[in-house]
Amino acid sequence: MDNRCPHMGFPLDRGSVKNGILTCHWHHARFDLSSGGTFDPFADDVRSFPISVVDGEVWVNLSPPVADRIGRWSRRLEDGLEHNIRLVIAKSVLGLTVADTDYRVSLKIGAHFGTTYSDQGWGQAMSMLTCTANILSELADEDRPRALYQGLRHVASECAGRPSRFLVDSLPTRERRSEVFKSWFRGFIEVRDNEGAERCLRTAIDVGVPPREIADIVFAGATDSIYLDAGHVVDFCNKAFELLDHIGWEHASQVLTSLVHGMATARRSEELNSWRNPIDLSSLVHQAREELPTLYQEGQEIREEWYRNI
């Protein structure tokens, strides 16, 4: 076995062995002496070297086959997220970077974890992770792993101790019209039926409704009420679609349905006294919404006139 503890590098020959278990004396990580496998998720398996006995002599293979580094560090990243261990998350991101993987490998693992292991669905941490992905191209190479780590560790912290979210199945329907799904979805969100809304959205995605029309369905539900959850719902919807721009539309069912719980249960500003008294702001907003198309068209005509006069 390698003499360095994979947790923090302490020399393992200063540890102790009992019942075939090697214990590091710095942080008490424990390893199976015959394989190097660890019993503690915060550590990692020690690199081991195969041996053979030939004519009474012990031969050590110092160049064993190289393991699948991408697979190994991907699994370790999942472990770090599951157990909310920041050091493991950081080492895994660095390991994947050294293995010359695309940033989307780490991002997909974090996205799947964050949209699965929280029954509350999409939260602030998922938005942070997406913001991290959005700025990676602007960062120096050495800073990109650090940025990814920050997004991923927030996801792990937000999901820690939460029940899992289970995807609902699609409807067994031949319906394909986006306007029908849109009507259903808005109706379910209006009455706070997150289960009905989630199944409706999942079905629309799975039957092949185009992404632009899926976006129209989602944002209609997010904007029918005024300023849902102080604006967080619309922001979350934006970030969810931005995340799909990074990892691909094939993840839409998993990602977009995670928005539904927050949309259906969000606080609606028209329900707040501060929006109804002493001035009924919500009524003014609805009135402005009715006037907005006409005002927009008038603005377009004025702008065109300005351009002609330049």
Q: Which pTM value belongs to this model?
A: 0.84
Whether 30 and 99 map to the same domain: the answer is no
Query: Is residue 131 assigned to a domain?
Result: yes
CB count within 10 Å of CB 180 equals 14
Please give the Cα distance from 228 to 267 (Å, whole number): 6
| pLDDT (average), residues 212-220 | 97
User: From edge to edge, which strands make up the β-sheet containing 16-18?
Assistant: 16-18, 21-23, 30-32
Please tell me the total count of domains within the chain. Answer: 4
Domain that holds residue 34: 12-60
What is the tens place of the pLDDT at every residue in 60-115? 998 887 778 899 999 999 999 999 999 999 999 999 999 999 999 999 999 999 99
Give the max Cα distance, the chain.
97
Q: Which residues are CB-neighbours of 253 under 8 A, at least 6 positions away? A: 167, 202, 205, 206
Query: Is residue 152 assigned to a domain?
Result: yes
Whether 286 and 304 map to the same domain: the answer is yes
Q: How confident is the prediction for the chain on average, in pLDDT?
A: 93
Query: Is residue 274 assigned to a domain?
Result: no
pLDDT surpasses 90 at 283: no
Whether 294 and 249 map to the same domain: the answer is no
What is the tens place of the pLDDT at every residue in 1-44? 899 998 888 999 999 999 999 999 999 999 998 889 999 988 88
Please give the Cα distance from 246 to 117 (Å, whole number): 21
What is the tens place of the pLDDT at every residue in 221-261? 999 988 888 889 999 999 999 999 999 999 999 999 999 99
Residue 300 has which token pair? 């377009």
CATH number at residue 27: 2.102.10.10
What is the tens place of the pLDDT at every residue in 145-179? 999 999 999 999 999 999 999 889 999 999 999 99
Question: What is the distance between the terminal CA atoms of the chain, rounded to a whole angstrom?
Answer: 77
